[in-house]
Chain A
Amino acid sequence: MLRFIVRRIAWAIPTLLLVTFLVYVALRLGTNPVYSFLRANPRATPDKIATYKELNGLGNNYVVGYLNWLRHFVTFDWPRSIKGSREVFPALKDALANSLRLGLAATFVGIVIGLAIGVFAALHAGGRRDVAVNTGAFIGISIPPYISSILLQLLFAVYWSRWFGHTLFPTSGVYPPGHEGFNAILMLKHMALPIVVVAIQIIAVYSRYMRSSLLDVLNSDYMRTARSKGISERRILIRHGMRNALIPVVTVAAIEVGSIVGGLIITENIFDYPGMGRYFLTAFGDGDFPLMMPWMVIIVASILLFNLIADVTYAWLDPRIRLE
């Protein structure tokens, strides 16, 4: 097991370097940092521009430029943002924390509900309830998040305050305006609507996933064997069915968590939630290369990390997998 993990990590590091290099080239081509610098500093002297280029390795050679960037990145000597010359790390750290909070909560809620619905559908496979779940899941996937969010804002904030004098769940933000400091309840209230919007999509996917996974298991030979031994249906479901059906689900869920941090862009944008998505959109709009690169590193690293976790859990849960 340990050797397997070590091997996987040994794989992940060159992958991370390769992918960040590709991202580096794509960003340099698409949003030339020199142009962005000139936009922010229209009166910069040629000397100053040359210094900026040299300092940040923005010459014609992308490999040299990348290595230069990498050296600054790992020594934690990050260049300041182009617009406003702000420090990158504090902003990125806050955005990451906010997104992780929202993403993990939404994924947790979504997966738990999705699995429950999936089990329910599988147990009633083919029946009317199954069809209802199926249809509901498809509708859930088909409604764009920016429509569902507006409807939720209207219902729980606008109409609720008209009917009851106060909003149940606020439209946007992390805290009420003017609030300073930490308050878990207020924070949860503000996260409620974004969580629902994200969770709808996750529920839709996982309910269908769990359903098909559980059906596969329920119809497998060993389940038939278990049944023929006279073990109660409930016991079969819990002892054998669920355990085996969950193996692939857990694997996929781990991968999903890795992608959730960067996958909240639309939701964060609508709810004015200061997370990674909003951070990226702002940086992208300004062509702010020094802000975008660390963001990309975090996203790619988290994807690789959770892929690794998925592999390990899969291997750990399913003894049939050979670790080679």
Chain B
Amino acid sequence: MHGWIRGFVLSKTEIEMISPRRMALKRFVGHKAAVASCIVLGLFILAVSLSPLTARYGVNQAVRKPPNSFLHPQKLAWMGTDDIGRDIYSRLIYGIRVSLLIGFFSAIIAVAIGCVVGAIAGFRGGQFDDIMMRVTDLFLAFPFLVALLVVRNMLGALSFLSPLIGDKGSIRFIIFLLALFGWMTVARIVRGQVLSLKEREFIESARAVGASRKYIIMRHLLPNSIGPIMVSLTFSVVAAIIGEATLSFFGYGPQAGAGTTSLGLLVGQAKGAVQTGFWWIAVFPCVSLVIISLCINFIGDALRDATDPRLDMGH
């Protein structure tokens, strides 16, 4: 991840003179993979948001009475059934819905925290900046899973927090947990952006006329950093989706017993199915996970190219 970050910081030194937004849009549309990704992701989002219509069965509903386990893909169940006869296709619809929800919400919270921390650090500079960046360094390097597990236990033990963040197995809790560990990259990007913008004429002139710090950050610095922020948002979404999958793999994600499913839980189930030859249990969830993160990555990549003129090679 570090690579992308430095890329922004170093290269975003010049801004197009004429309508940068339109230029960016033009460049984005020129990125074929990104446009295709947008369409695919849009279809996914459409399918999962209309889930009662698109899903054929309930999330925990068996396709028929037993015997119904491990049915091959067939008319009754397009993507086959799992060990207790539930329709993989319908479960995928519901699972992707949960995972996208977790991905988007935790990314939005993470980006919000990251923007605030990054903007303040970059703008104030000095000791504060130094400490903030040390903290983000540490957070970045600390083993993600360990931090998740330890903090998960700690938050779960602080019962006064539970009205806000829910109990340990709830989706809300997972969103908070992932957001708590997702803001560092964003903070670094925004800080770098702010540092480079800070020295420029329009900020200097705003300062000269006595604009407050808050005003400068809110009205000048953040709006001018919107490109990198958008990019980091997309990568945060992917990171959160994969983070959820990892948590689920270790049994610390959404609770399957409570009737929830998620992409991570489905991929976790896939694990047991690779050896058995029940390929449909493994293939469909894994392919969905890869396609979704691939699409979001492509979109983020294109956004970055679009908002960062120096990387447009003109080939």
Could you tell me which A residues sit within 8 Å of B by CB distance? Answer: 11, 15, 19, 23, 26-27, 29-32, 125-127, 131, 134-135, 138-139, 141-144, 146-147, 150-151, 154, 205-206, 208-213, 215-216, 219, 248-249, 252, 255-256, 258-259, 262-263, 265-266, 280, 284, 299-300, 303-304, 306-307
Bound Cα distance A72, B300 (Å): 49
**CB <8 Å contact, A212 and B4:** yes
Could you tell me which B residues sit within 8 Å of A by CB distance? Answer: 1-4, 6-7, 10-11, 33, 134, 137-138, 140-146, 149-154, 156-158, 238, 242, 245-246, 249, 267-268, 270-271, 274-275, 282, 286, 289-290, 293-294, 297-298, 301, 310-311, 313, 315
**CB <8 Å contact, A299 and B3:** no
Bound Cα distance A137, B119 (Å): 31
**CB <8 Å contact, B311 and A303:** no
Bound Cα distance A26, B146 (Å): 12
The residue on A at minimum CB distance from B249 is A146
**CB <8 Å contact, B3 and A303:** no
**CB <8 Å contact, B274 and A142:** no
Chain B hits for A266, CB < 8 A: 145, 246, 249
The residue on A at minimum CB distance from B149 is A284
Once A139-B290, A144-B289 are accepted as A-B contacts, the answer to whether A151 and B138 lie under 8 Å apart by CB is no
The residue on B at minimum CB distance from A209 is B3
Shortest Cβ distance from residue A245 to the other chain B in the assembled complex, whole angstroms:
11
**CB <8 Å contact, B6 and A303:** no
> What are 16 A-B contacts defined by CB distance under 8 Å?
A138-B294, A142-B242, A142-B297, A147-B271, A150-B274, A209-B3, A212-B6, A212-B7, A215-B311, A219-B313, A252-B3, A252-B6, A255-B2, A258-B141, A263-B144, A299-B143
Bound Cα distance A23, B151 (Å): 9
**CB <8 Å contact, A307 and B141:** yes
**CB <8 Å contact, A265 and B143:** yes
Q: Contacting B141 at CB < 8 Å: which of A11, A208, A259?
A: A259
**CB <8 Å contact, B297 and A29:** no
Once A205-B3, A209-B3, A255-B2 are accepted as A-B contacts, the answer to whether A216 and B310 lie under 8 Å apart by CB is yes
Chain B hits for A263, CB < 8 A: 143-144
Chain A hits for B275, CB < 8 A: 150, 154
Bound Cα distance A1, B221 (Å): 35
Chain A hits for B293, CB < 8 A: 138, 141-142
Chain B hits for A259, CB < 8 A: 140-143
Bound Cα distance A103, B120 (Å): 36
The residue on B at minimum CB distance from A295 is B146
**CB <8 Å contact, A15 and B134:** yes
Bound Cα distance A128, B289 (Å): 25
Bound Cα distance A15, B149 (Å): 22
Chain A hits for B137, CB < 8 A: 255, 303, 307
Shortest Cβ distance from residue B151 to the other chain A in the assembled complex, whole angstroms:
7
Chain A hits for B2, CB < 8 A: 205, 209, 248, 252, 255-256
Chain B hits for A32, CB < 8 A: 157
